[in-house]
Amino acid sequence: MKQRMIFFLALALLPAGIAPAFAETTLEKSARTGALTIGTRTGSPPFAYINQRNEWVGFSIDLVEQLIIPSVSKKLGKAVKLEKKESTPPTRIPLLSANAVDLIAETMTDTRSRRDSVDFSLTFFVTGAQFLVKRGSPVKGINNIAGKRVAAQQGSTNARIIRERVSNAQLREFPDQPAAFQALVQGQVDAYTNDGIQLAGLKAKAPNPRDWEIVGDFYSYEPYGMALRKGDSDFRAVVNGGLMDGIDSGKFFEIYDKWFGPKGEVPYPMSPDVKKFMIYQAVPK
C-alpha cells in the first residue's frame, strides 16, 4: 500500500503534460493498430519490387504475407493486415529504430555488427557477393578490381568488404540498386558489386540481358534475415515460428520455387546443402 502511494505521489509531482513512458512491443502495437508494417524495397527483384502492373511484389513480401502475417494473427487472435514502406540500406535501421516500420523484409545480411543495433530472424536466403559488368569486361572478380571504378550500395556489406580488401579500388556508393546500375549503363563505373542473386535479378530485368555478365566467385557469405527491434523476443519468436511452420509444411519451398525455380522470375536453384541448412533451422515443436 505504501509503495502504491509513493507511485501516485510521484505521478502528481510530474510537470503538466508529461507522463512516464512505457515501451510498446511490436505485438502490442499490431494488436492496437491491426497492422504490421514492413520496410522493404521497390527495386530489388525478385525479393521486392514494383512490377509492370504497378504492384509491390516479391519473395520477401510473399514470405511475410503467407507465413508471418498468419503467425502474428494467430498469436493475437485477430486478423492483422500488412502495410509496406520503402527502405534502403541507409534508411532501414533508422526506420526500425524510430518505430516507422516493425520488420525489415528485403535483402539484409545478418552480420554480427548489425546485431549490435537490431535482432534478426532465422536465415531465409543464402548468397554471396559478385560483380555485374558489361559483356567482355576485363573485370573477372575481386582479384582484378584494383584501380577500377566499382559501384556499390551505401551501407552494404559489399562496400565494406571492398574497402577492407581492395583499398585501391575506386569505390563509389549509390543510394539504391537502380542508381548503381544506371551508373554502370552510362559508363561511370566499370563494375557493380552486390549479392549474386540481386545481380541475377537485375540482369534478368534489364532491357538487353545478354549485354551483361555476372563474374567472379563469391567473395562473401551473405545470409539474409529479417530485422526487428532489439530485445523484442516475443515478436521474434512469432516471426521465426511463421518461417519454421512454412519450412515444415513445405510452403516456404513453394514460395521459393515461385520466384527462383525454373519458371520463376530469376532462376536460382536452391542447392541441396542450402535446403538442408533451411530444414535444420526449423527446431522441433
What's the pLDDT at 204?
Answer: 87
Please report, to the nearest 10 degrees, the dihedral formed by the alpha carbons of residues 224, 47, 245, 247 taken in order: -70
Phi-psi region of 160 (alpha: psi -120 to 50; beta: other; left: phi over 0): alpha
What's the pLDDT at 7?
Answer: 43
How far is residue 247's CA from residue 238's CA, in Å, rounded to a whole number?
14
Burial class for 152, CB neighbours closer than 10 Å (0-12, 13-18, 19+): buried
How far is residue 31's CA from residue 229's CA, in Å, rounded to a whole number?
17
Contacts of 37 (CB under 8 A, 6+ apart): 83, 84, 85, 100, 101, 102, 103
pLDDT in tens, the chain (285 residues): 444 444 444 444 444 444 344 589 999 999 999 999 999 999 888 999 999 999 999 999 999 999 999 999 999 999 999 999 999 989 999 999 999 999 999 999 999 999 999 999 999 999 999 999 999 999 999 999 999 999 999 988 899 999 999 999 999 999 988 999 999 999 999 999 999 988 998 898 899 999 999 999 899 999 999 999 999 999 999 999 999 999 999 999 999 999 999 899 888 888 898 999 999 999 998
What's the pLDDT at 155?
Answer: 85
What's the pLDDT at 187?
Answer: 97
